[in-house]
Each structure stands twice: as structure tokens, then as C-alpha cells.
Chains A and B, each alone.
Chain A
């Protein structure tokens, strides 16, 4: 259950678009369309932004969008705003590498988004 790989930091100016990548394997990101993305502000609980690769829950701004190609998922934030400065995490459904092959989840390493 190795963590999915995300860049440590991504930055952009207000109004710009940025993309955060999430690299996994064929056993997690590449094998299932169950990738989610979360935003976390300091001292707060995470908030769901995207689920099932590209679905957006009601109430989440359409400036947030998700996609996937092969073993890499991506979160794009368009029209970057000051309030978007936060940590972002991806998550994927996967199956355990142990003998029981149980259904598990794995998070990414996290990306700090800075608005310049």
C-alpha cells in the first residue's frame, strides 16, 4: 500500500489554471475509476472536491475538475483564487497486496498549492 505520488508543491497567480498530478499503478489509479480529490485548509478536516475521477459533488465550484489517463490522475483548478491556497490529496480504491486481496484505499502524498 504505497502512497500515490503527488508533487510537493504547485503554485500559480490569481486567475491562472494549475494542475496537480497523482501517479499510481495499475493496481490502484489505473485499475479503477474510483479516484477522489480533497482540499484541506490548515487545522481543518478535508473536503471532497472530486469523486469517481471526474464527478463533482453539489456545492463544489466548477473551477475544480478531475481526469485520468493510465496510471495518472489529475486535478485542475481554473481561475485560481486566494482561497484555493491549501493542501490537496488524491485517493484511490485499490486491493491489498497481501494474500487476502481485500479492498482498501490509498492516499497521495499531498500537494501544497500556493497562490502567488
Chain B
């Protein structure tokens, strides 16, 4: 079964930076598009970013464009999200997720999430 394990969350001050990681296992990581999705406390799901299988193509939600960078290390089966210039409104559980299928759109598998809190 697909496994995705996020790490790197925590408390950070406004304007600070944080790097999230997602360790993938039990599937061929290098074949799949990967996503980050977030959920503020008590709120709905919000798509954040995605990256193609070889890392050459990325896209972002307008709310994080220019501040967040998605990347991947296919040799280490790991997805990253570098978050800079963090704001209070970035406080959320961040989920790492895998595409439904090779080349498929949509999000099929989710990690358990890591909490990012932005506060002074």
C-alpha cells in the first residue's frame, strides 16, 4: 500500500521559513506527479502546489506563488515544500499527496499531514 509520511512542521514566526518533507514508499516515486494540499484548522482543503514526475514542471496556488517552492529528490523518494515569508494565514495541516495514476490528474493517495503554525 502507498505510504506517504510528512515531517518538518512546527511553530514559526511570521516572516520565517520552514521546509516540509514527505517520504514516499511502496510505489515507484519517480513515475508520479506529487501535490501539497493544506487545511487550516476547522476549514476546508486548499490545493497548494504540484510537481511532475521528473521535477521539471511545477505549479502553485496564487496565494503561495513566489513564497513557496516545491521540489523532489527521486533518488531519495522524497518530496519537499520550501516555505518562505510565512504568514499567519499559512497556518494549516499540510498534506503530501500522490496522483491517482501515472499521468493521471487528480489526487489519489494522502499522507497523514504535518501541522504548521505561524505565530509570534
Give A residues with C-beta under 8 Å from B: 1, 3, 32, 34, 36, 38, 40, 45-48, 51-52, 57, 87, 89, 91, 93, 96-98, 102-110
Known: A45-B112, A104-B61. A51 touches B104 (CB 8 A): yes
In whole angstroms, what is the CA distance A81 to B29 when docked?
36
Shortest CB distance A60–B (Å):
11
In whole angstroms, what is the CA distance A3 to B111 when docked?
22
Name B100's contact: one of A46, A48, A97 (CB within 8 Å).
A48
Shortest CB distance A34–B (Å):
4
> When the two chains form their complex, are residues A105 and B95 in contact, meaning their CB atoms are under 8 A apart?
no
Tell me, yes or no, whether B82 is within 8 Å of chain A by CB: no
Give the nearest-CB partner of A52 in chain B.
Answer: B106
Known: A107-B44, A107-B45, A110-B44. A48 touches B59 (CB 8 A): no
Shortest CB distance A112–B (Å):
10
Name A51's contact: one of B65, B100, B112 (CB within 8 Å).
B100
Please name the 10 residue pairs, one residue from A and one from B, whose CB atoms are nearest each other, closest first.
A110-B44, A102-B59, A34-B105, A36-B106, A105-B47, A45-B110, A51-B106, A107-B45, A93-B105, A51-B100
> When the two chains form their complex, are residues B59 and A91 in contact, meaning their CB atoms are under 8 A apart?
no
